[in-house]
Structure 1
Amino acid sequence: MKDRIQITLKPLWYNNRKLVAIDFHNNESVKEYINSLEGVRYSNIYKTHYVIYRSNIINELFNYFRAKKWFVDYSAFKENNSKPKREVNYRENYKLPPLKDESLKELKSFGKWLLQKRFSKNTVHTYVEVTGLFIRYMELKQISTISSRSVEQFNYDFIFSTKKSVSYQNQCISGIKQFIAFKKLTIENIDIKRPNKDKKLPTVLSKLEVKSILDATKNLKHKTLLSLVYSAGLRIGEALNIRPDDIDTERGLIHIRSAKGRKDRYTLLAPSLVPLLQAYLNHYTPKHFLFEGRNGETYTQVSARQVLKKALRLAGIKKYATLHTLRHSFATHLLEGGTDIRYIQELLGHNSPKTTMIYTHVSSTNLSKIKNPFDNL
């Protein structure tokens, strides 16, 4: 006697839309019968047939399959069928288990593998961190193997539902894909599309605000650091990796080595910054890096952020600003001063002029030339 065919109906959520998943044991005749059903589709991500949920759909499906005298399990819809279950607030209740020793060793090897591929230290740290979260998520959900579906589940539960930023989501996807390559896994349908970043305009400080920040900073090292970041339009990682011999006072240039994309470039050394820089070098005599912490190690980004935070408070500036805001301000002030945007692109180390063009949207020079119709009323 043949085993009775069973059809299982389960709720499935995708992009905040409720679906009905139709699960069954692999059988070609059953598959044909399901595919002949109006509105049925197949999900490559969840590896299941489904239809869009609507009122009375469970009853329709039950009758459709019972016509073949198949057993239909729809118990997942019996409780509170008319109202979807409240989604878990992962931000409050989502606690991942700690990493096991075996996973910690694997992540350490993964980090070394990324370094050998010449990823930056920041990127390696981020990829290892997000991959660790993914492994812990799999442990929580008792998922034994990495698949496109497990990555999609993690993306939805841990990133989308908790309203993480688009940038963080892209970092997670990139990190997990690198981990899959590290483990030499072949996973079908892993083409997870990255969402486009929000096109937000950067915060820009006025020249007066920048001056007030520098004037409020009395510590010689702190003042030199903030002055250099602004006057050369540096990313903070670039500023902290500068060595004393990268400063060319005769040519008025600073050599930025292995910046984003592992590219070298030259940027400006402001003549008025040279006396301050020389006083700093004479007092601190750094050996390896221009800005050093304890024991000659690189000055940390955390410490640099604290320097700016204190300067903003002392200067009485309420506007939200980061160290990258100084870089944005440098570029905007150059544009307002009439510098060709192609030169600004070179100084900032942008690959595409499109990236640099964003500063045309925050420059007050172009906007000030527009005649406001209110003035003609």
Structure 2
Amino acid sequence: MEFLNRLTNGHKQVTKRNRYSTLSSFYNFTIATALPNLQNPCCTPILKKIFKRPSCPQWKILDKESVDEIIFRTLNTRNRIMLELMARGGMRIGEVLKITPDDIADNKLIIRRPKSGKESEVVFIPKKLMAKLNEYVATFGINSSERIFPISYTAAWMIVKKAGKIIEVDLRPHDLRRHAATYASRSGTPLEIVSKIILRHADLSTTQRYLGKVNDSEAVRWIENLHG
């Protein structure tokens, strides 16, 4: 118990659970291969309760009308384009802040050194949004290697929070990325496209957690759209 506390102290529940599971698996392996009479000290009711698997968070899913209103009522051009890159392109806020004119290629953006650890990734965005981005770069004479949005992460976060207040919602940057995936999925886009192209996830299970649950009113609307 004391060893587990030292091993997991100060970490999130998911990390605590993973380390507990690893230690428990080690004991199970030892019992199965060498010491059949050994008792697994991890298999006690109290430890199972302390290191239980954390429940999946219920993320807020914004509908298209709400996101459109947030974007259309954001009058600052820079802020509006940043919001659209997250909501239409599924980009992470850190990716938006890193892009330069050199990263623009036709109707796509090249993400250098992405979160996945790859050398680069590609983000496809709508032609209208790409036109706005190119116009913004030209208007402000941004050099090819300069960041298009040279602001801090905190400043960008506050832009998103302020935009959410327009319609009185507690908006976070990842809510917009999640909207891009959810809207695409519920509009009939194949899950593989949502996962590999929009979210750029390594596996579909991660994407499925993003898409959230469908409430009763949404279910009725989709059934009516399909069969009404």
- TM-score calculated relative to the size of structure 2: 0.70
Q: Secondary structure at the match of 2:96?
A: helix
What CA distance in whole angstroms lies between the structure 2 residues aligned with 1:269 and 1:370? Answer: 29
Residue 220 of structure 1 and its aligned partner are, at CA, apart by 1.6
Matches of 1:354 and 1:332, distance apart in 2: 14
Q: Match for residue 115 of structure 2?
A: 260
Q: Gaps (5+ residues) in structure 1? A: 1-44, 47-147, 160-164, 174-190, 294-298, 372-377
- Identify the structure with bigger relative contact order (alpha carbons < 8 Å, sequence gap 6+): 2
**Cα distance change of structure 1 residues 255 and 196 upon mapping to structure 2, 3 Å threshold:** farther
Give the 3 Å change call, closer, same or farther, for CA 356–280 of structure 1 in structure 2: same
Give the match for residue 187 of structure 2.
337
Query: How much identity, in percent, do the aligned residues show?
Result: 24
Matched residue, 1:302 = 154
State how far apart, in whole Å, the 2-side matches of 1:360 and 1:150 are: 35
Question: Deviation of residue 248 (structure 1)?
Answer: 1.6
Q: State the SS of the aligned residue for 2:115.
A: coil
Could you tell me how far apart the structure 1 residues matched to 2:169 and 2:131 are? 30
Pair 1:349–1:195, CA change in 2 (3 A) = farther
Q: Structure 1: which 4+ aligned runs deviate by more than 4 Å?
A: 363-366
Q: Which amino acid aligns with 1:215?
A: F
Match for residue 319 of structure 1 among 161, 169, 192: 169
Q: CA RMSD in A?
A: 2.9
Give the number of equivalent residue pairs: 188
Aligned partner of 1:356 in structure 2 is 207
Unaligned runs of 5+ in 2: 20-41, 43-47
Deviations 1:212-271 (A, max 9, x none): 11122111211111111111101111221222121222xx22222221221232221211
Cα shift readout 1:187-220 (whole Å, capped 9, x = no counterpart): xxxx9x9864431232121111111111221112
Partner of 1:273: 129
> Structure 1 residue 224 and structure 2 residue 81: aligned?
yes
CA contact (8 A) 2:164 2:170 kept: no
User: Could you tell me how far apart the structure 2 residues matched to 1:311 and 1:151 are?
Assistant: 42
Q: Deviations over 1:333-364 (max 9, x none)?
A: 00011110001111211111011113554357
Question: CA 1:289 to 1:335, structure 2 compared with 1: closer, same or farther past 3 Å?
Answer: farther
Which protein has the bigger helix share? Answer: 2
State how far apart, in whole Å, the 2-side matches of 1:269 and 1:336 are: 18
**Cα 1:329/1:150, change in 2 over 3 Å:** closer
SS of residue matched to 2:123:
strand
- The 2-side partners of 1:334 and 1:149 are apart by 43
User: Counterpart of 1:349 in structure 2: which amino acid?
Assistant: R
Structure 1 or 2: more strand by fraction: 1
Kept in 2, the 8 Å contact 1:230–1:329? The answer is yes
